[in-house]
């Protein structure tokens, strides 16, 4: 599809002003080290309260084409994955009805297949089989099609990974089975950690996440993401922002959810989390809620993740190039 005919494009610089702009290949990461984050939205993505799968696939394509500045979706995916690899899709099904949309995962799977990844070499995974089933996924260990299972099905590798103040075992899915990971988090509030978007989604890879929620998850969330296997294998992050939650998370609280109707994508999950955090703060303000800082749960781990010790990405808005895409 020709994205130039399908979308209206604008760019946000340093959180100040939306301006029309033609993107060049060099804009993915500028010479100054800016990280690119792409936000795509479609006001028509829901039809009779259900996700329109065709429009969602188009939305995913727009996000990937815009991020990589290509006109063919597969050219974008082939910059992330390669035939013969085993690719994991880390979803988030902790909150049941508020889980990663299966329609989005189906769209990602469709493009991975077209990029040359064999169906059985795609693994959709999360913490527990039970969580996946409650999120609408069917467990599949060895059958046809993508494999689907939780950490409880494969266990944890015996090696203890340590970085900073975090020490954890990692699921065999990420250590032994997958060559690369597509990280699909959610745009939502978290009652302890402030937000749970992209970085915190990787808590689903460790055996002891319950130990790392002190001090708003700082520095633990950053430490876990700095484990070498996670740092090396997470290829790309997609935030399911079709429906977002601005308070009461991570539990599913429909009274504090809204239809954002979008996706947020990029390689830099620190920049993604900073961007998503600001979206949540804006919604909280609009709904008359205090800021997360005022509630004592500002997600400072986002800043820690960008410090010189962790070096996971950018948290300075002046170093983040945010591109907004609106589907017509």
pTM of the entire predicted model: 0.90
SS (HEC) of the chain:
CCHHHHEEEEEEECCCEEECCCCCHHHHECCCCCEEEEEEECCCCEECCEECHHHHHHHHHHHHHHHHCCCCHHHHHCCCCCCCCCEEEECCCCCHHHCCCHHHHHHHHHHHHHCCCCHHHEEEEECCHHHHHHCCCCCECCCCCCEEEEHHHHCEEEEEEEECCEEEEEEHHHHHHCCEEEEEEEEEEECCCEEECCCHHHHHHECCHHHCCHHHHCCHHHHHHCCHHHHHHEEEEEEEEEEEECCCCCCCCHHHEECCCEEEEECCHHHHHHHHHHHHHHHHHHCCCCCCCCCCCCCCHHHHHCCCCCCCCCCCHHHEEEEEEEEC
- 258, pLDDT greater than 80: yes
* Section 157-172 average pLDDT: 98
Report pLDDT digits (tens) over 17-35: 222 232 333 333 544 579 9
- 177, pLDDT greater than 70: yes
Residue 32: predicted pLDDT: 53
Q: How many domains does the chain have?
A: 1
What percent of the chain is predicted at pLDDT more than 90? Answer: 86
Band of residue 48 on the pLDDT scale cut at 50, 70, 90: confident
- 140, pLDDT greater than 90: yes
- 33/4: higher pLDDT: 33
Token pair of 196 as six digits: 């749970």
Token pair of 243 as six digits: 């429906």
Cβ(281)–Cβ(291) below 8 Å: yes
* Section 228-252 average pLDDT: 97
* Section 76-87 average pLDDT: 97
Domain that holds residue 295: 3-327
- 124, pLDDT greater than 80: yes
* Section 176-197 average pLDDT: 98
Instruction: Read off φ and ψ for residue 303, nearest 5 degrees.
Output: -70, -40
- 328, pLDDT greater than 90: no
* Section 142-148 average pLDDT: 93
* Section 49-57 average pLDDT: 94
To the nearest whole number, what is the mean pLDDT of the chain?
91
Please tell me the distance from the alpha carbon of residue 117 to that of residue 160, in angstroms, as a whole number: 30
Band of residue 143 on the pLDDT scale cut at 50, 70, 90: confident
- 159, pLDDT greater than 70: yes
Report pLDDT digits (tens) over 203-220: 999 999 999 999 999 999
Band of residue 5 on the pLDDT scale cut at 50, 70, 90: very low
Cβ(257)–Cβ(283) below 8 Å: no
- 123, pLDDT greater than 50: yes
- 311, pLDDT greater than 90: yes
């Amino acid at each position: 599809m020709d994205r130039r005919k399908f979308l209206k494009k604008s760019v946000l610089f340093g959180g100040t002003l939306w301006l029309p702009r033609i993107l060049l290949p060099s804009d993915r990461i500028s010479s100054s080290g800016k990280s690119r984050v792409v936000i795509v939205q479609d006001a028509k993505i829901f039809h009779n309260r259900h996700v329109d799968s065709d429009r969602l696939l188009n939305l995913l394509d727009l996000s990937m084409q815009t991020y990589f500045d290509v006109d063919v979706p597969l050219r974008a995916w082939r910059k992330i994955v390669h035939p013969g690899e085993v690719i994991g899709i880390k979803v988030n099904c902790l909150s049941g009805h508020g889980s990663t949309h299966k329609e989005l995962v189906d769209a990602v799977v469709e493009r991975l297949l077209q990029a040359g990844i064999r169906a059985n070499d795609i693994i959709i995974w999360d913490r527990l089989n039970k969580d996946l089933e409650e999120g609408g996924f069917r467990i599949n260990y060895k059958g046809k099609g993508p494999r689907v299972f939780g950490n409880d099905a494969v266990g944890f590798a015996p090696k203890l990974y340590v970085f900073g103040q975090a020490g954890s075992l990692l699921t065999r899915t990420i250590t032994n089975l997958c060559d690369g990971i597509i990280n699909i988090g959610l745009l939502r509030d978290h009652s302890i950690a402030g937000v749970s978007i992209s970085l915190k989604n990787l808590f689903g890879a460790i055996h002891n996440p319950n130990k790392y929620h002190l001090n708003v998850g700082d520095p633990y969330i950053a430490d876990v993401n700095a484990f070498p296997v996670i740092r090396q294998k997470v290829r790309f992050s997609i935030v399911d922002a079709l429906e977002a939650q601005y308070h009461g998370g991570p539990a599913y609280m429909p009274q504090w959810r809204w239809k954002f109707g979008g996706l947020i994508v990029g390689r830099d999950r620190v920049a993604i989390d900073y961007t998503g955090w600001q979206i949540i703060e804006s919604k909280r303000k609009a709904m008359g809620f205090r800021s997360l800082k005022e509630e004592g749960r500002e997600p400072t781990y986002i800043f820690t993740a960008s410090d010189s010790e962790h070096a996971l990405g950018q948290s300075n808005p002046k170093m983040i190039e945010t591109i907004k895409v609106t589907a017509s």
